[in-house]
Amino acid sequence: MIENYELGKIHIVKLKWANVEPLFEDRDVIFDLAPHPFDIINYLFKKNPEEVFCIGNAYRRSKSKGVEAVFINSTLGEIILNIELSWLTPPKTRSLVVIGSNKSVLVNCTAQLVEVIEGNKTYNLEIIPNNTIRDELRRF
């Protein structure tokens, strides 16, 4: 839909990867979860974000051991990017929102649902749910 310009000019992309998680001693929330949203952005737009600004904090451990919640903002040209990563925020959320000048798309990655909003109309795209990791392991 992005490549075919169905959404129009893309204005905003929001990703949220959050859940209440235990502390991991070998990583923080950025190293644990950030690769996924950044990989999705790179896949959708064939480039990486430009400048990256973030704010985060640790609440259940020393900040020197890494953050548990972070908000990352960036741009791709005129597109504003917002990524929320958290080990503190219920419920488990893996979502992508792409806001365009013609249509917007809301992707619930956990439930594998894709909703398209065009003006006052909303409809779901028919997709085939899968377990990508399982499928990749089978191919391997």
Helices and strands, number each (H, E), in the chain: 3, 8
Residues 109, 18: contact at Cβ < 8 Å?
A: no
Which helix (DSSP H) or strand (DSSP E) does residue 137 occupy?
helix 132-139
Distance between CA atoms of residues 93 and 91, nearest Å = 6
Is it the case that residue 130 has pLDDT exceeding 90? no
What tens digit of pLDDT does each residue of 9-60 get?
A: 999 999 999 999 999 999 999 999 999 999 999 999 999 998 899 999 999 9
Answer yes or no: pTM beyond 0.85.
yes
> What local confidence, expressed as pLDDT, does residue 95 receive?
98
pLDDT of 80 > 80? The answer is yes
Mean pLDDT of the chain: 95
Q: Within a 10 A sphere around the Cβ of 11, how many other Cβ atoms?
A: 14
